[in-house]
Every structure is written in C-alpha cells, then in structure tokens.
C-alpha cells in the first residue's frame, strides 16, 4: 500500500490514547475513516474527520454493525485497525470470572468476530488491488507473559496466535494480517484497569511514536511488528 489516500479504514478504539493517534495520522494521509468508540461525545471530541459508530465489543452483534457502518459511509472497506483493549492486574488466584470473561471478550474474541465479519469486504478490496489489511496490537505480553497479569497476557497471546494462523489463510486472498507487539506505551490504559491496580511501571513509549511506526508499517506492506521493532 504505497498510499493511504482514499482508502476506507475502520479504526476500533479511536478514542483511546493510541487509537486516536493512529486515526490522526491516517486522516492526515488522506484515508476515509470510520471511527469506533463507546461514547459518541468522545468520538466527536477527537476532532478527526470520519463516520462515527459506537458499540460494545463484548456484544456478539457489534462486529457486523461496525463493518456495515464503514461500508455505508464509504462504500467499501480496505483496512481495519483494532486499537481497543482492556487490562487487569493482580495475582492469578484473585482474578474474578467477570474479569476473565471481559478480557477474553474484548482482547481476543472481538477481533476474531471483526475479521470474520469484514472478510467479504476485504476480499472485494483485494480484488480491486487496494492491498487490504487487518492490524491488531497483541503487545509485548503476547511474547513475554507477565506475572500478575496472567489473564491479560493470556488474552493477548490468544490474539497473537489467531493472527499468526489467520494470516496464513488470508495470504491466499491477498489480505494482510499485521500483528504489532509494542512494549508499554503511555496511553493511559494502565490507569483504567478493570481489576487491580498497576504496579510501578517504567516510562513507556510515546503513543505518537508508536502510532507513526504502525502507520509506516501499513504503508510499507509489513506483516509483523515484534517488540524489537519499537526499540530505539
């Protein structure tokens, strides 16, 4: 994908610390955006041009609704950025059923449903030689599962495994699956855990810098961004 101009891209989690930065860069490069968030006012507050769509990623029907919104807004779908996620902290023995269910639903199951829902549109994009892609952020914990973040690590490792296998399938259709695994990034997510509280963390990456690396990878046609791709 040598240019993003005119590409129809759905950004999941566009109001988050990283999703917002990615959306800004995509918009600046001329992409036609569909912006997902949980609250319409927060989508509006981003100031980024795009078709707004809300939805709870834990709801099985949301994936199809998000894809339909992008198709209705722009007539096609050429890429998806999944920048939404939940985090939780604490010992494995103290993690509640509700926390486990929520982590798996948002971090792992929702992207699977989203790719399945988007597949026909992405195949059509491939047939038109628009180099469609699906970007996920399994993060460094999918490479190095972390104590006191066991359930969170498991949800992200599941996403990484799904991406690796699905990516092989999608190559035949000309669809690119790109999984990114940056280390801790200062998005503010760690301050909003659904259970527990964050330990003292070292200063993380700048969301703007991580977003720039991700968008560059989309343009360059990359298929994998390990944690080492964000060092330096």
Q: Is residue 199, in this structure, part of any structural domain at all? A: yes
b/e 148-165 (16+ beta carbons within 10 angstroms → b): bbbbbbbbbbbbbebbee
8 Å CB contact between 122 and 217: no
8 Å CB contact between 53 and 77: no
Q: Is residue 50, in this structure, part of any structural domain at all? A: yes
Asked if residue 2 has pLDDT above 80, the reply is no
Q: Is residue 2, in this structure, part of any structural domain at all? A: no
Three-state secondary structure of 46-70: CCCCCEEEECCCCCCCHHHHHHHHH
Q: What percent of the chain has pLDDT over 90?
A: 96
CA distances from 117 to 70, 121, 171 (A): 12, 8, 17
Q: Is residue 69, in this structure, part of any structural domain at all? A: yes
- In this prediction, residue 232 carries a pLDDT of 67
Put simply, whether the predicted model's pTM sits higher than 0.85 gets the answer yes
Q: Is residue 156, in this structure, part of any structural domain at all? A: yes
Q: What percent of the chain has pLDDT over 70?
A: 99
Chain segment 111-131, per-residue pLDDT in tens: 999 999 999 999 999 999 999
Q: Is residue 1, in this structure, part of any structural domain at all? A: no
Residue 114 neighbours by CB under 8 Å, 6+ apart: 12, 63, 66, 67, 80, 82
Q: Is residue 141, in this structure, part of any structural domain at all? A: yes
- In this prediction, residue 3 carries a pLDDT of 86
d(CA 138, CA 116): 18
**Domain, as residue range, for 152:** 8-230
Quote the number of domains for the chain.
1
84 pLDDT tier (thresholds 50, 70, 90)? very high
8 Å CB contact between 181 and 227: yes
Give the CATH number of the domain where residue 70 resides.
3.40.50.720
Mean pLDDT, rounded, of the chain: 97
Chain segment 192-224, per-residue pLDDT in tens: 999 999 998 889 999 999 999 999 999 999 999
- In this prediction, residue 1 carries a pLDDT of 65
Chain segment 127-166, per-residue pLDDT in tens: 999 999 999 999 999 999 999 999 999 999 999 999 999 9
- In this prediction, residue 13 carries a pLDDT of 98
What is the average per-residue pLDDT within 40-45?
96
Q: Is residue 3, in this structure, part of any structural domain at all? A: no
């Amino acid at each position: 994908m040598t240019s993003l101009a005119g590409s129809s891209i759905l950004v999941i989690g566009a109001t988050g610390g990283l999703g917002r930065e990615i959306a800004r860069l995509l918009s600046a490069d001329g992409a036609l955006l569909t912006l997902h968030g949980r609250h319409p006012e927060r989508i509006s507050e981003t100031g980024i041009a795009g078709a707004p769509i809300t939805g709870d990623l834990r709801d099985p029907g949301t994936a199809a609704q998000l894809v339909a919104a992008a198709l209705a807004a722009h007539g096609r779908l050429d890429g998806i950025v999944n920048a939404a996620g939940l985090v939780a902290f604490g010992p494995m023995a103290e993690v509640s059923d509700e926390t486990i269910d929520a982590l798996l639903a948002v971090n792992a199951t929702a992207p699977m449903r989203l790719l399945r829902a988007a597949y026909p549109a992405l195949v059509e994009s491939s047939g038109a030689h628009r180099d469609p892609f699906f970007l996920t952020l399994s993060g460094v914990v999918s490479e190095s599962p972390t104590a006191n973040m066991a359930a969170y690590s498991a949800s992200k490792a599941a996403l990484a495994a799904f991406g690796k296998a699905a990516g092989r399938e999608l190559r035949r259709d000309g669809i690119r699956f790109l999984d990114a695994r940056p280390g801790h990034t200062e998005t503010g997510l760690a301050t909003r855990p659904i259970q527990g509280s964050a330990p003292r963390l070292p200063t993380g990456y700048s969301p703007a810098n991580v977003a720039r690396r991700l968008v560059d990878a989309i343009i360059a046609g990359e298929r994998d961004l390990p944690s080492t791709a964000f060092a330096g």
